[in-house]
Amino acid sequence: MKVLVTGYKGQLGYDVVRALKEKHIDAIGVDRDEFDLTNEEATTSFIKKIHPDVIVHCAAYTAVDKAEEDKDLCYNINVLGTKYVASAAKEISAKVIYISTDYVFDGKGEEPFKSTDTPNPNNYYGLTKYLGEKEISAILSDYIIVRISWVFGINGHNFIKTMLKLSETRNELSVVSDQIGSPTYTYDLSYAIVDMIEKNIKGTYHVTNEGFTSWYEFAVEIFKQANKTVKVNSILTKDYKTLASRPLNSRMEKNYPMKLRHWREALNHYLKEIL
């Protein structure tokens, strides 16, 4: 079996390739250096040349606030790029695992969103990821949509790295406490994705580490585990202005049989890797 992983230089793509190779599965990680997702001809020819059995499509425009101003590029990558990947996959009968997000939901209420709930994004990034989902399901019959949230991994930027960086120069921070979700370690998530590939399943799945928390509680736990003395103040989303609105409720009902460990345990493992 040959698996093509887009967005290899990102947090999840890197770990998916590593997990696949650990399982001795032929994995090819690619990023924007290999082909331009917004170029249909380049995307199609590259995928046809590699001719994978499975494509794990991790590549995406993920700058949530910038997306509100850079809508064309966000759309071209997240919607058109996904369409090009799906169309090329169909031509060679390859399966696509599309990585989506909790941001496809509006964040209302307090109940975890089910995989069968109707998406209703409240920012442009979330809208493009939902439109990407629709491209996948319209073009392919053999696909998996994996919705994830609050990811952290070795590669790229994430909340944990930001908190640790700020702790070098600040001894007091304010963090929002009314956005609730599940921090998700790409190292753990990658094994679930490999499991999906090996089991040859289909459908839409919510996959995150166990447990729910707020960004405020997450920050407190990061500093506690990292032995950093930082006072964390709790603030509300309405008092922390951003270009893009954020969902207050990012809880998702996990519906994949393979359970990931609790986010606190995952955080502990991650900190040991990066500190």
Q: Report if residue 266 sits inside a domain.
A: no
Mean pLDDT for 159-183 is 97
CATH of the domain at 67: 3.40.50.720
Total domains in the fold of the chain: 1
Query: Does residue 178 contact residue 212 with C-beta atoms inside 8 Å?
Result: no
52: left (phi over 0), alpha (psi -120 to 50) or beta: beta
The pLDDT tens digits of the residues spanning 212-221 come to: 999 999 999 9
Q: Report if residue 169 sits inside a domain.
A: no
Q: Report if residue 128 sits inside a domain.
A: yes
Q: Report if residue 268 sits inside a domain.
A: no
Q: How far is 30 from 43, CA to CA, in rounded Å? A: 11
Confidence band of 160 (pLDDT split at 50, 70, 90): very high
Mean pLDDT for 162-186 is 97
Predicted confidence at residue 242, as pLDDT, reads: 95
Predicted confidence at residue 148, as pLDDT, reads: 98
The pLDDT tens digits of the residues spanning 99-152 come to: 999 999 999 999 999 999 999 999 999 999 999 999 999 999 999 999 999 999
The pLDDT tens digits of the residues spanning 55-93 come to: 999 999 999 999 999 999 999 999 999 999 999 999 999
Q: Report if residue 134 sits inside a domain.
A: yes
Q: Report if residue 243 sits inside a domain.
A: no
Tell which residue, 134, 131, 114, 28, has the closest CA to residue 78.
Answer: 131
Q: Report if residue 174 sits inside a domain.
A: no
Q: Report if residue 175 sits inside a domain.
A: no
Predicted confidence at residue 246, as pLDDT, reads: 96
Domain holding 78, by residue range, is: 2-158+183-209+251-260
Active site residue 125: yes
Predicted confidence at residue 156, as pLDDT, reads: 87
Query: Does residue 185 contact residue 152 with C-beta atoms inside 8 Å?
Result: yes
Annotated catalytic residue within 98, 125, 143, 205:
125
Residues near 21 by Cβ (< 8 Å), separated by ≥ 6? 27
